[in-house]
Structure 1
Amino acid sequence: MDKLAGHDGASGPVFVHRMRVGWGDCDPALIAYTGRIPQFALDAIDVWWKVHVGLDWYELNVDKDIGTPFVHLSVDFRKPVTPRHGLECHVRLTGLGESSVRFSVDGWQDGALCFEGRFVCVFVAARAHKRMAAPPDIRTVLEPLVCAGQA
């Protein structure tokens, strides 16, 4: 079950998305396939949008003509992710520019940090594929959620 984890010290609100890692997520080394790690993080960010903004990426694109394609992502791996334990993705909104949104997603299993990810997306008019400023109604929701001191 997902939850708002409240505040993490001075870093601001943390959203925790819990998921199951299955056998089909693994590679021959019996750990989560490397390509699945960003997908886990992106799934958590998508749920973050739904919880905080009330719209997931599909709804933003189809119903509002607002796209948020990613222009950057990086992931540092700390420990293998396996099906042995549930995966918790801790999502923080770390920055909000004129048209950009920055997130951090840290993946935890059984109390151990497994990966740290940084993700940047930009607002675009979905059908036209043209950059746009963050819509005022969405900006109003996002601004108080930005975690100070996170990059």
Structure 2
Amino acid sequence: MNESVEMVVDHQPFTVRRTVRWIDCDPAGVAFTGRFSEYLIGAVMHFYRHIGWGPGAKGEANVGLPCKHMALTFHVSLPPETTVDIVIRVGAIRERSFDLLAHARLADGRLAFEGVFAPICIEPRERLGVPIPPALRDILQFHHITDEGGRP
């Protein structure tokens, strides 16, 4: 039996499976609101590792990817032992930043929550914004979706 709380289950589309733990829940028996941010960030960190960028990666030009913006919308409560599949796709790609779009679905297909995580490329020592390096832009383009929800 796999005791993991979170694991990558697919690479295209990039999908992380997350199981709600009892410790994630309030006395009413549902996941605390703040845990949803942790679920989103956990899936984003797996995506970063998958593409070879982010914390600890040896990406081109030593570029950092801190969060510039994050948003979440909740659709259902999540009790302990609930499993959600969080699909991460790339939305808008700008000069220095881009959007990672998350859609978390229950086993029956219902949308549990959705979110946006928007990192910005920085030079780590000076903490100044820099353009997205070409190698990162290429990887992001591979995972990019159009406004209609498909790949370009």
TM-score with structure 2 length normalisation? 0.82
Report the Cα distance in structure 1 between the residues aligned to 2:148 and 2:64, rounded to whole angstroms: 24
Q: Establish whether residue 93 from structure 1 lines up as the match of residue 83 from structure 2.
A: no
Deviation at 1:20, TM superposition (A): 2.0
Matched, 1:128 2:126: yes
Task: Please state how far the C-alpha of 1:5 moved relative to its aligned partner.
Answer: 6.1
Change (3 A) 1:63 1:26: farther
Report the counterpart of residue 102 of structure 1 in structure 2. 99
Contact 1:81 1:109 in 2 (8 A): no
CA distance in 2, matches of 1:62, 1:137: 9
Separation in 1, partners of 2:120, 2:107: 33
Task: Please tell me the residue identity of whatever aligns with 1:36.
Answer: R
Match of 2:137 among 136, 139, 146: 139
5 Å-filtered alignment, 1:20-31, equals 20-31=19-30
1:1-150 → structure 2 map (5 Å cutoff)? 1-4=7-10, 6=12, 14-51=13-50, 53-55=51-53, 57-60=54-57, 65-111=62-108, 112-149=110-147
* 1:41-71 superposed Cα distances (whole Å, 9 cap, x missing partner): 11101111111x224x321389963221222
Q: Runs (4+) of structure 1 moved beyond 3 Å?
A: 3-6, 60-65
Can you give the 5+ residue segments of structure 2 that lack an aligned partner in the other structure? 1-6
Higher relative contact order (CA 8 A, sep 6+): 1
TM-score normalised by structure 1 residue count? 0.83
CA distance in 2, matches of 1:15, 1:61: 21
CA offsets, 1:19-49, max 9 Å, x none? Answer: 2211111112211110010110111011111
For residues 99 and 41 of structure 2, the distance between their equivalents in structure 1, rounded to whole angstroms, comes to 12
Gaps of at least 5 residues in structure 1 are 7-13
Identity of aligned residues (%): 24
62 and 36 in structure 1: CA distance in 2 versus 1, 3 angstrom threshold: farther
**Number of equivalent positions:** 142
Q: Could you say what the CA RMSD is over the residues aligned between the two structures, in angstroms?
A: 2.3
